Amino acid sequence: MKLNSRFKNGQMHIYGYTKMDKLAGIKCKNKTRKQILLCPHHIINTKELDLSNFLKYSDFFLELPKLYPDVDFIFRPHPLLKYNLTKYWGESKTNKYYDQIAAYSNAIYDNSEDYLETFANSDAMIHDCGSFTAEYLFTNKPCCYMLKNVDDIKRKFLPMGQKCLDNYYKAFNKNDILNFIDNVVIKGIDPMKN
């Protein structure tokens, strides 16, 4: 990014992602349980930007708290997901889904405005959100990106997004997600950490 200024030929160069500076100052809470963020994107049932996997995994997301009672799941969807689901599923089914998530003792529906504290206190993320692809890397914690197929990386992501995804575990099905939770998050076997 270049800004006009009185410095060096009237230009100043700023590098980095200043939004994420706040993350470095957040003190993590003491906790005894693993916390996994589930962050589905809001664009469902569209051909124009077919990145969302929510409809594929919505029932599976409801199973995860039962499968892993010793893990806390934080359901942090894109804020527009509920609106889009209401148009697709209807208000009753959408509200029932969100109520089911919130009913688990080890699941939280997080719709807070500032998500950086949630990032700082999490142990991992499973998602298919655009901006989180770069932002979660600042935590140095493992992340799993849900994709429909491997070709999506080259076809649907810009070079920066592709480079970010080089540092991610990829999930193309439920077993990939379970493997990520079992081995990377719970057992701590994280070969991509470096």
| Beta-sheet pairing, 107-109 with 2-4 | unpaired
Segment among 9-13, 19-23, 44-48, 146-150 with least mean pLDDT: 9-13
Structural domains of the chain sorted by starting position, each given as residue range(s) with its CATH number in brackets: 37-186 (3.40.50.2000)
Q: Alpha-carbon distance 65 to 71, whole Å?
A: 7
Q: Alpha-carbon distance 186 to 194, whole Å?
A: 18
Q: Above 90 in pLDDT, residue 82?
A: yes
- Of 80 and 19, more confident: 80
pLDDT number for residue 113: 86
Structure tokens at 73: 């799941």
CB burial class (10 A; 0-12, 13-18, 19+) of residue 3? exposed
Q: Above 70 in pLDDT, residue 162?
A: yes
**What percentage of the chain has pLDDT greater than the value 70?**
89
Positive or negative, the CA dihedral 193, 37, 58, 112 is negative
Q: Alpha-carbon distance 176 to 46, whole Å?
A: 24
> H/E/C letters for each residue in 119-138?
HHHCCEEEECCCCHHHHHHH
pLDDT number for residue 44: 79
Average pLDDT over residues 26-41: 93
Average pLDDT over residues 166-174: 96
Structure tokens at 157: 């992501």
- Give which of 17, 53, 56 is closest to 129, Cα–Cα: 53
**pLDDT band at residue 129, thresholds of 50, 70 and 90?**
confident
Q: Above 60 in pLDDT, residue 61?
A: yes
Q: Above 50 in pLDDT, residue 192?
A: yes
Return the SS3 of 30: coil
Which residue is it, tokens 């919505």? 58
Q: What is the residue-averaged pLDDT of the chain?
A: 89
Segment among 85-94, 125-134, 179-188 with least mean pLDDT: 125-134
Average pLDDT over residues 42-47: 76
pLDDT number for residue 4: 44
Q: Alpha-carbon distance 119 to 129, whole Å?
A: 14
Q: Alpha-carbon distance 146 to 8, whole Å?
A: 45
**pTM, two decimal places:** 0.88
**pLDDT band at residue 7, thresholds of 50, 70 and 90?**
low
pLDDT number for residue 5: 43
Element (H, E) at 94: helix 91-103
Altogether, the residues listed in the chain come to a count of: 194
Q: Above 80 in pLDDT, residue 106?
A: yes
